[in-house]
Amino acid sequence: MSTLEEAKKAVVEEFSMYDEWLDKYEYLIDLGKNLEPYPEEEKTEDKLIKGCQSRVWLDSRFEDGKIYFKADSDAIITKGIISLLIWVYSGREPKEIAEDDFGFISEIGLKENLSPTRANGLVSMIERIKELAKEKAATLDDNVLTAEDAKALAPLYDNVVLALKQVYDPEIPVNIYDLGLIYELIINKRHETYIKMTFTAPTCPMADEVLADVKKSVSDVPGIKACEVELTFDPPWDQSMLSEEARIDLGMD
């Protein structure tokens, strides 16, 4: 994947190939046609970008340290504009996007050659992309703990572990923590908790209930502000993940 600077330079060079703005509009329309499909059921009010004359939906996901965008619009030119922004910024680190000045937009003269309403919509799109990137960058910063942070959070961490030990697997009489079902437990500086967990088998019939119990038990710990629980089966659970206490309880030692 090209760097952000390379991507912006490529856009400037591409636009410079066209002398007439009619041709540049055609180029934007073609870009819009290449947007990945946006499911109709996901075109909800909370995904609409405020300030756009036409409707523009924008969503994001975070994966492997990068933020990825997807979007759609009910207007062909606007769809091309948001497609251009996604082509440049999707798949970048949140901080890189948040700190960028989007100056290439001025270089290609896009804002100046749009109607006032479309130009305002362009500004709204840029602001929303930066806003999503800033939110994720701030969250990542909160997850970076100094030694002092970790020491201060240690009692809270212990209380969360105690809460997890109150939740039991529906098929084995051992709590989920000692069973080794908790793969990751993170508490950030804002006292928000992230838990990645699994089950002994993907077909657990009580999975939804257990996940809800985990979230409630942790959320009820004094000092915890929020709790997010993610389910995974990679790697699959096996008996090597049992704690010593669980082995004793199950008569395995």
Q: Is 73 within 8 Å of 79 (Cβ atoms)? A: yes
Distance in angstroms (rounded) separating the CA atoms of residues 211 and 216:
9
pLDDT in tens, 100-156: 999 999 999 999 999 999 999 999 999 999 999 998 887 777 776 678 878 989 999
Catalytically annotated residue among 11, 28, 49, 52: 52
Chain centroid offset of residue 79 CA: 22
- Give the domain CATH number at 122: 3.90.1010.10
Q: Which of 142, 167, 197 is the last residue of a domain?
A: 142
- Can you give the pTM of this predicted structure? 0.63
Domain that holds residue 174: 147-249
Q: Which of 79, 113, 142 is the last residue of a domain?
A: 142
Q: Which of 119, 142, 165 is the last residue of a domain?
A: 142
Query: In which residue are the tokens 């090209």 written?
Result: 2
Q: Are residue 132 and residue 158 in the same domain, yes or no?
A: no
Distance in angstroms (rounded) separating the CA atoms of residues 201 and 114:
56
Our answer to whether residue 204 is catalytic in this structure is no
- Mean of pLDDT over the chain: 92
- In this prediction, residues 74-90 reach a mean pLDDT of 96
